[in-house]
């Protein structure tokens, strides 16, 4: 029998040289990120070249790497760049890059079993649980992101409301109702749909102060819905809404959930980690009373994509919907099959990557104080940008700056609302295509807004100058 079936390099020395070159390139790219465009379009010929057939007999590793250098590496999303302000994208970090390489080398499957990676994930989950003031009995799991965290929480809340039978017999006829602010992320409606409850199970709670849920109005609404025969089961509090960075009053919602016996879930994709900044921690007051909290490490914690986490106060309620043990996954007392409970019992996936390693590296290396300082700085930069926009002729702030998000638009005399929408949509694209910066857009009170969400720890005050110049130039030329 030949050894050719093994895929290891025939020449380890050559492989080492290629890997070293790749490491040098990654470090060079990180160090020189400021000199690159914040984004550039992928040329049509590059898209076409990336659809090439796979070479049936393979090709030398250096050739594949050269192709990566030519066709892939020059056209990133752009979020490692300090002037990438679109959506809510983290900038990544050097420690995270190192950890990703090491995790790939270990190739751990963290669905379960007895190996160190499981204990790294437990340590990370424990650290997060302590950060949010959860009890020692709390549980959690790292996820691909907050969308997945929201889904696991909705499923656990559903089964807590309907009982264990829901998981085995299904939920036919259940009329469960959930409530969230108008600005809640769409992943919550998706989660309700996937959980079999339907997107229509999500009811919009009226807004009170600073875009947060009006708790008194919600209390009346829940009672009325209950009187009408519906079954309220869940309130989703948003910590950092995607459009404007608004916070729902978590403490008051926890009181309401206790009164009405509802599950309180916090979607804190980015905002929950405001807790790391002493100046902003008050925004999540009461979060330790939530039944579950979902948030991302790939945003404000600067972990490379993808890494989120969902925590549950009650470990049993977390495990109940997901635990199962078919014969071939039997947990053993000793040996490789030990290590129970397995992470597969706390979520949907069986095979799971070692995403805990990058989070562990980041937490240990930068430490909570430095990470909190980076969070605080992005908020300070957003406040500065908001103040500059308020003073600038030709720009209009469309929402108060509550956290790290600034929504504004360019205005020109004589343009009606529709024309202003068109102008600002064109400004966003012109600024992106110029490579100067990447804002995204949203709608605030029906108006198209340029949306700048500062998440990247590399962003500096002079980056705001470049952004504002690019916006003004684009607005003046009418794009």
Ligand X SMILES: Cc1ncc(COP(=O)(O)O)c(C=O)c1O
Q: Which is nearer to ligand X, 95 or 266 (CB)?
A: 266
Q: Residue 147, interface with ligand X (CB under 6 A)?
A: yes
Q: Smallest gap, in angstroms, from Cβ of residue 376 to ligand X?
A: 19
| Shortest-Cβ-distance residue relative to ligand X | 145
- Closer to ligand X by Cβ: residue 267 or 421: 267
**92 contacts ligand X (rule: CB under 6 A):** no
- Distance of closest approach, residue 88 Cβ to ligand X, in angstroms: 4
Instruction: Using DSSP, state whether 397 is helix, strand or coil.
Output: strand
Binding flag, residue 296, ligand X (CB under 6 A): yes
Query: Could you say whether residue 456 binds ligand X (CB under 6 A)?
Result: no
Give the whole-angstrom CA distance, residue 51 versus residue 196: 37
260 and 235 Cβ atoms separated by less than 8 Å? no
Give 118 or 455: the residue with its C-beta nearer to ligand X: 455
Looking only at residues 302 through 331 of this chain, which bind ligand X when binding is defined by CB under 6 A? 308
Pairing of strands 202-205, 308-312: unpaired
Choices 95-103, 140-148, 213-221, 330-338 (CB under 6 A): range interacting with ligand X: 140-148
Which residue number, 147 or 442, has a Cβ lying nearer to ligand X? 147
Of these, 242, 257, 359, 395, which contacts ligand X (CB under 6 A)? 242
Helix (H, G, I), strand (E, B) or coil at 199: helix
DSSP letter for each residue of 66-79: HHIIIIITTS--ST
- Phi and psi angles of residue 100, each rounded to the nearest 5 degrees, phi first: -60, -40
The nearest distance, CB 449 to ligand X, in angstroms, is: 16
Q: Which stretch binds ligand X (CB under 6 A): 116-124, 139-147, 194-202, 375-383?
A: 139-147
246 touches ligand X (CB under 6 A): no
Nearer to ligand X, 146 or 432 (CB): 146
Q: Which is nearer to ligand X, 242 or 357 (CB)?
A: 242
| Cβ nearer to ligand X, comparing 309 with 430 | 309
Q: How far apart are CA 178 and CA 189, in angstroms?
A: 9
- 382/410 with CB nearer ligand X: 382
What does residue 178 show for φ and ψ, rounded to 5 degrees? -120, 155
3-class DSSP state of 205:
strand
Residue 152 touches ligand X, criterion: CB under 6 A: no
Q: Which of 85/270 has CB closer to ligand X?
A: 270
Question: Which residue from 80, 93, 139, 146 is in contact with ligand X, where contact means CB under 6 A?
Answer: 146
Residue 475 interacts with ligand X (CB under 6 A)?
Answer: no
Candidates 108, 222, 269, 297; binder of ligand X (CB under 6 A) is 269
* Contact map string, positions 221 to 240, toward ligand X, x by CB under 6 A: -----------------x-x
DSSP codes, 281-307: GGGGTTGGGSSEEEEESSSTT-PPS--
- Site size toward ligand X, by CB under 6 A: 14
Backbone dihedral angles phi then psi of residue 374, each to the nearest 5 degrees = -65, -40
Of the candidates 219, 297, 300, 294, the residue with the CA atom closest to the CA atom of residue 254:
219
Query: Taking CB under 6 A as the rule, does residue 145 contact ligand X?
Result: yes
Q: Is 187 in the site for ligand X (CB under 6 A)?
A: yes
* C-alpha separations of 117 from 213, 342, 435 in Å: 40, 12, 40
Burial of 286 (0-12, 13-18, 19+ CB in 10 A): middle
Peptide linkage before 341 cis (omega within 30 of 0)? yes
Q: Which stretch binds ligand X (CB under 6 A): 58-66, 144-152, 279-287, 316-324?
A: 144-152
Nearer to ligand X, 187 or 302 (CB): 187
Q: 243: helix, coil or strand?
A: coil
Alpha-carbon gap, residue 53 to 406, rounded angstroms = 44
Block residue for tokens 């309401």: 256
* Of 39, 270, 322, 343, the one binding ligand X by CB under 6 A: 270
**Does the protein bind ligand X through residue 452 (CB under 6 A)?**
no
CB of 358 to ligand X, least distance (A): 15
Cα(306)–Cα(55) distance, integer angstroms: 29
- What does DSSP say about strands 440-444 and 176-181: parallel, antiparallel, or unpaired? unpaired
Identify whether the C-beta of residue 296 lies closer than 8 Å to the C-beta of residue 90.
yes
Q: Are 201 and 184 in contact (CB under 8 A)?
A: no
Q: DSSP states of 61-117 as a string?
A: HHHHHHHIIIIITTS--STTSTTB-STT-----HHHHHHHHHHHHHT--TTSSSSHH
Among 185, 289, 313, 409, binds ligand X (CB under 6 A): 185
Query: In terms of CB distance, is 139 or 187 closer to ligand X?
Result: 187
How far, in Å, CA of 351 to CA of 334, rounded?
A: 21
Task: Please give the residue ranges that form the binding site for ligand X (CB under 6 A).
Answer: 88, 145-147, 185, 187, 238, 240, 242, 267, 269-270, 296, 308
């Amino acid at each position: 029998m030949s050894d050719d079936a093994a895929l290891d390099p025939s020449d380890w020395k050559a492989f080492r040289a290629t890997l070293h070159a790749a490491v040098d390139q990654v470090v060079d790219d990180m160090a020189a990120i400021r000199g690159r465009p914040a984004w550039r379009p992928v040329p049509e010929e590059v898209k076409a070249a990336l659809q090439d057939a796979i070479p049936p007999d393979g090709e030398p590793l250096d050739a594949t790497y050269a192709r990566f250098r030519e066709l892939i590496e020059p056209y990133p999303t752009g979020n490692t760049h300090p002037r990438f302000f679109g959506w809510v994208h983290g900038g990544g970090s050097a420690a995270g890059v190192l950890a990703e390489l090491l995790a790939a080398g270990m190739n751990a499957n963290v669905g379960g079993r007895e190996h160190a990676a499981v204990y790294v994930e437990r340590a990370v989950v424990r650290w997060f649980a302590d950060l949010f003031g959860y009890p020692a009995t709390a549980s959690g799991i790292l996820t691909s992101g907050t969308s997945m965290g929201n889904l696991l929480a909705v499923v656990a809340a559903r089964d807590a409301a309907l009982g264990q039978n829901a998981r085995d017999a299904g939920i036919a006829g259940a009329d469960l109702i959930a409530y969230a602010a108008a600005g809640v992320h769409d992943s919550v409606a998706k989660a309700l749909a996937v959980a079999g409850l339907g997107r229509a199970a999500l009811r919009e709670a009226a807004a009170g102060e600073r875009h947060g849920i009006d708790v008194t109005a919600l209390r009346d609404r829940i009672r009325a819905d209950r009187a009408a025969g519906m079954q309220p089961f869940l309130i989703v509090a948003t910590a950092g809404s995607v459009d404007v960075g608004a916070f729902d009053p978590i403490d008051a919602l926890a009181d309401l959930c206790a009164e009405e016996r509802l599950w309180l879930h916090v979607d804190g994709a980015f905002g929950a980690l405001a807790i790391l900044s002493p100046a902003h921690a008050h925004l999540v007051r009461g979060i330790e009373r939530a039944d579950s909290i979902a948030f991302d490490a790939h945003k404000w914690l600067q972990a490379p994509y993808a890494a989120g986490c969902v925590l549950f106060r009650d470990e049993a309620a977390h495990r109940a919907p997901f635990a199962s043990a078919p014969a071939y996954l039997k947990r053993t007392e000793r040996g490789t099959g030990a290590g129970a409970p397995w992470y597969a019992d706390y979520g949907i996936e069986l095979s799971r990557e070692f995403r805990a390693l990058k989070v562990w590296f980041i937490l240990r290396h930068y430490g909570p104080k430095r990470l909190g300082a980076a969070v605080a700085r992005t908020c300070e930069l957003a406040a500065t940008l908001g103040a500059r926009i308020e003073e600038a002729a030709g720009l209009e702030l469309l929402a108060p700056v509550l956290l790290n998000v600034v929504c504004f638009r360019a205005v020109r005399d004589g343009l009606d609302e529709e024309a202003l929408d068109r102008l600002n949509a064109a400004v966003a694209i012109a600024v992106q295509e110029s490579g100067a910066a990447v804002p995204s857009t949203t709608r605030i009170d029906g108006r198209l807004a340029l949306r700048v969400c500062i998440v990247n720890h590399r962003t500096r005050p002079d980056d705001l100058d470049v952004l504002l110049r690019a916006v003004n130039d684009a607005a003046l030329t009418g794009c």
